[in-house]
Homo-oligomer: A and B are copies of this chain.
Amino acid sequence: MSDLPKRVTINEEGPREGFQSEKKMIPVADKVRLIEALADTGLKHIACVSYVNPKRVPTMADAEEVAAKINLKPGVQYSALWLNQQGLERALRGPLHVDGGVRVTASDTFSRKNIGKSVADAMVEQRMSLKTFKDRGMPVEWGTILGAFGCNYEGELSTDLILQRVQLALDEAELAGFKLKGIKLTDAMGWATPASVERLIGAVRSKWPDLEISLHLHDTRGTGAAAAYAGLRMGVTKFDASVAGLGGCPFAATDGAAGNICTEDFAFMCEEMGVETGLDIERLIDVAKLAEEIVGRPLPGHLMRGGTLNAARRKVAA
C-alpha cells in the first residue's frame, strides 16, 4: 500500500511491561534468557527493567541483578525505565541504556496513582532529571504523554488537554535546553480506537508538523491491532509492542490490565503489507513461546498459534 510507511521501528516492551505485571516472581535467569532471545530477533530496542520502588512493584526488585546479567549484544539498545529521580540515579549506575526523555501524564489522577505525584509536582521533579541529563551531556529527544487516549479515573480527556500536555513537554524540555524531536503517545489504560488514534495524531500533526510521533498501545479491549493500523495509515513509524502480548500496567485500574500490542503479530501484519520491520518473525514466535513457558500461562499472541503465512507458503511450495 503506497500510503503506509516503508519501514517501522518496533521497540520491545515485553520484559519490562510483562514481568512488571506478573503476579508471581519470575527468576532472574528466565528474565535474562528472554531478553537475550529477543536480542536475536532483530529488535534494536528492548525495555528490560524498571527501577521502581520494590514495595510497589515487587517483581522489579531484581532490576539491578537482571541488568547486570544480560549479555549485551552490540547494536542493541537495552533500556531501563525509571519513574523518579531516585529511580533515575539507580538506572544511571547500572549498565543499561537510560533514555533522557521528558514525561507528562495526561490525567492528574492517573499521575497520582501511577507515580504518586500530581502532574505539576511530577514536572518539578522532572526538572531535576532534565538537569541530570544536561549535566551528563545526555540527549533529550522524546517527550512521552502517558495515558493520552483516556483515563480509567477521569474518563475522556479532551484533545485540547493532550495538546496542552504536549506543549508542557516541549516547554519543559526547552527550559532545560533541549529541543524534542518526537512525542510518544501512550495508552496504558486501553482507551484508544482507530478513530481516536487518527484524531489525536491529526491534532498533534496540525499543531507541530515536524514532530515525530510514536505509539504505545495496549490491547485491553481488542482494538490494538486496528489502532496500530490506524497509526500506520497516519504515517507513524515507531511503535512499542510486547512479545506474545506480555504485560499490562499494574496501576491502570483495569480488571484485565492487558499487555501491549503483540510484537510478532504486529510485525507480521506490517511485513505482509510491505512495511519492513527488520525482524525475524519466526524467531519472534519462538521467543513468544518461551515467554509463555516462563510465565506459565497462555499469552494473547495469535501468530504463535496460527503460524506465519511464509510458513504456509513454504508448505505449499514443498
A residues in contact (CB < 8 Å) with B: 1, 4, 150-156, 189-191, 193-196, 198, 219-226, 228-230, 254-256, 258, 262, 265-266, 268-269, 272-274, 298, 300-309, 312-313, 315-317
Knowing A194-B273, A229-B194, A306-B254 are in contact, say whether A222-B301 is a contact too (CB < 8 A): yes
A258→B302 CA distance, assembly (Å): 8
Of chain B, the residue at the smallest CB distance from A268 is B221
Q: How many copies does the complex hold?
A: 2
Knowing A155-B317, A255-B306, A262-B222 are in contact, say whether A4-B195 is a contact too (CB < 8 A): yes
**Complex contact A223–B222 (CB within 8 A):** no
A228→B224 CA distance, assembly (Å): 12
**Complex contact A255–B307 (CB within 8 A):** yes
A154→B255 CA distance, assembly (Å): 43
**Complex contact B155–A222 (CB within 8 A):** no
Of chain B, the residue at the smallest CB distance from A265 is B222
Chain B residues with Cβ below 8 Å from A155 are: 312-313, 316-317
**Can you name 26 A-B pairs with beta carbons within 8 Å?**
A4-B195, A152-B316, A155-B313, A155-B317, A189-B312, A194-B273, A195-B272, A195-B273, A221-B265, A221-B302, A221-B308, A221-B309, A222-B225, A222-B265, A222-B302, A223-B268, A224-B302, A225-B226, A226-B226, A254-B307, A255-B306, A256-B302, A256-B304, A256-B305, A258-B306, A300-B300
